Structure 1
Amino acid sequence: MIMVEKTIIVEGSSDRKRVAEIVREPVDIICTNGTIGVSRLDELVDELFERDVYILVDADASGEKLRRQFKRELPQARHLYIDRRYKEVAAAPHRYLASVLMSADIDVHGEFLQKEGTQ
């Protein structure tokens, strides 16, 4: 069994799908479905205590609200940001998202880094 040490938290299932296509190493991708309740947040804090956690949410009001919650409850998490012009993680081009993930030392599939990366 492969030990998974990294967790990426995203908002929606389309975000999870997009990130999963790009990431090459084993990671857990947790979907909050846009909001997260206090009890679920407490569970996550306990669950993720010993792991490398990355927060990758949309560049909009609900994403920022979620990010603020995680900054309070999971201060050790690393926050990854997408450019506001893409608004949503799922709408960001593969190549752009791959470079954001790679900058956080997350291993990505090389084809997404090509000059003519897929959209």
Structure 2
Amino acid sequence: MNGSMNKVIIVEGKSDKEKLSAILNEPVEIICTNGTLGLDKLEELALAIEDRDVYILVDADEAGHKLRKQLQRELPNAEHLYINKMYREVATTPLMYLAKVLVGAHFNIHKNCLG
């Protein structure tokens, strides 16, 4: 494991991953769950990333809430990042807002994302 990919962000879908990739200005592994994960997959994921800084950023809806609870059980040390409920989905959240959430969690982002 190389030290530069120490941070992991878990998101739901590909569009969430693409949005975060456009904002981040440091190497971060972004893992898509593509909805809910089976228990085996979840345990596999937890073992693979247990010694890294894990962040969870999922949609502010029922499916996102369910996934967050699942991940919380398997990854109790993960840091939870939240979007405002009015945006509902990470993919539709304004870049500037997401950038502020990431800066708040000490991520390096592209300066132009802050407006």
TMscore range, shorter length: over 0.9
Letter aligned with residue 42 of structure 1: E
Q: How does 1:1-119 map to 2 (within 5 A)?
A: 3-114=4-115
State how far apart, in whole Å, the 1-side matches of 2:74 and 2:4 are: 24
SS in 1 for 2:60: coil
Letter aligned with residue 102 of structure 2: L
Shift of 1:34: 1.1
- Normalization by structure 1: what TM-score? 0.93
C-alpha deviations, 1:5-40, integer Å up to 9, x for none? Answer: 000000000000001100100000000001111111
Q: Any gaps of 5 or more consecutive residues in structure 2?
A: none
State how far apart, in whole Å, the 2-side matches of 1:105 and 1:33 are: 26
Superposition RMSD in Å: 1.0
SS in 2 for 1:8: strand
Stretches of 4+ moved more than 2 A in 1? none
State how far apart, in whole Å, the 2-side matches of 1:37 and 1:108 are: 32
Aligned length: 114
Identity score, percent: 53
Q: Any gaps of 5 or more consecutive residues in structure 1?
A: 115-119
Shift of 1:2: 6.4
State how far apart, in whole Å, the 2-side matches of 1:95 and 1:53 are: 22
Higher share in helix: 2
